Amino acid sequence: MTYMDNNSRRLYGRALSVLAGGVNSSVRAEPSPYPFFVEKGDGGHIVDADGNKYLDYVMGYGPLLLGHDMPENVASAVQSETAKGPMYGAPTEVEVKLAEFVADHVDSVETLRFVNSGTEATVSAVRLARGITGRDKIVVMQGGYHGAQDSTLVEGNADTPEPSTKGVPASFARETLPVPFNDDEAVERVFEEHGEEIACVLVEPLIGNNAFIRPVEGYHRTLRRLCDENGALLVFDEVITGFRVGGLGCAQSTINVEPDLTAFGKIVGGGFPVGAVGGPSHLVEGFTPTGDVFQAGTFSGHPVTMAAGLETLRYAKDKNVYDHVNQLGDELRAGMTDVLEDYAPEYTVTGTDSVFKTVFTRETPEDLEDACDAGCEQNQDCPRYGVCPKDAGDVADAETERWKRLYWTEMLEEGVFLTPNQFEPQFVGYAHDEEDVEETLEAYERVVSSL
């Protein structure tokens, strides 16, 4: 199979004339010399502009919990809302229903404000935290990603933060304090120095855009304690993990730490553009018109998106979707772990529930007996614990070019579409089945054994 056929090449040539870099999101420019263009989705597969069919584990970068084919109830709800009219500039009942569903299933949420993207959700959550506390500084994790917002496009450490891209003022970066994920001592030091200036800690329950690294035992409890002691808010970015990890309770239910605010996106919109900020009423009511923190959006609470999100979550609840996707995720991670034991024991499988990734780490213990058997769990009794990735720096130190130039390309040649770098995870959808998993593991063994 090859993606380098005429139609994708021709479309990319046209795109370069009218779209910046030929794409509308930078990551889509991969692979070189040009990306393949998608014609349609088909269950757990996509079909490109030249008719090539791929097993799809990108799943739109996470929103497509159910796969590419909307179940009848979801499709019917979307069509019904579309038929009524595109939008109104006024409230609708369906946005109330979706908010009620989320509040009923996520323990930390009483009230929500819907927005239009995960980026907008994290922007709004940070603004709200700053408005409530009257403070400016925020703590983030090094290598974490919270969308294309100026407050978090920051690199370095808490002593020398600087913009990670041109276009972000250095003065913005000085208000952001990056610390390594899973490092209690580092975040303790930051609070010792800046505790009275910190508005919030913004953190993913698992580091989504760095290979889906799990927290070590107690890390989020440390963050919760430090926020409580210093009057800061704990903000969970569950744009990726929300309604993906931990089922309808989201990832926060699996680590038994309740945040003050949660940013949602992706699955909560059923595959349509969406974001949301949720939390206790006394905090979320800080948004205008009831509070003093301005937030608004023309397309916020869009009825088509709200209908898609509501029916997707209802379907997930009624059809035991999480049992299915999580089982397949376990099988993939376990199968990949077995392959690596034979061919590349230094590599690490990461992820949980319906999320998976392989990180091309460089070290392995001599004895792998009693190692985690279906992806790294940050188990301190695992012989790999000392060498498995704990933070973004560990992922960056892995063989990122080998992953991208050889592994990703060869998996694509095998007909398996993965996210095109070592950092972003892959996702199982409800449309995937046991046959897809078997096909994937067979391709995985062929590719890994040849690297």
Which active-site residues does the annotation give? 145, 237, 266
* Number of helices followed by number of strands (H, E) in the chain: 15, 16
Chain-centroid distance of CA 423 in Å reads 11
Per-residue 3-state assignment (H helix, E strand, C coil) for 278-293: EECHHHHCCECCCCCE
Residue 185's CB: how many other CB atoms inside 10 A? 10
By CB atoms closer than 10 A (0-12, 13-18, 19+), residue 439 is middle
Residue 286's CB: how many other CB atoms inside 10 A? 20
Tokens of 49: 């502009």
Tokens of 150: 């100026």
Listing DSSP states for 39-101 in one string gives EEEETTEEEETTS-EEEE-SGGGTT-TT-SS--HHHHHHHHHHHHH-S--SS--HHHHHHHHH
Give the up-direction half-sphere exposure of residue 75: CA atoms within 13 A in the CB hemisphere.
Answer: 7
Minimal CA–CA distance to 118: which of 205, 271, 239, 235? Answer: 239
Report CA torsion sign: 252, 253, 259, 263. positive
Check if the beta carbon of residue 430 is closer than 8 Å to that of residue 326.
no
For residue 396, give Cα distances in angstroms to 143, 219, 406, 436: 9, 21, 17, 30
Minimal CA–CA distance to 355: which of 425, 443, 251? Answer: 425
Query: Which DSSP letter does residue 358 get?
Result: E
Pairing of strands 348-350, 355-359: antiparallel
Minimal CA–CA distance to 398: which of 346, 450, 338, 353? Answer: 346
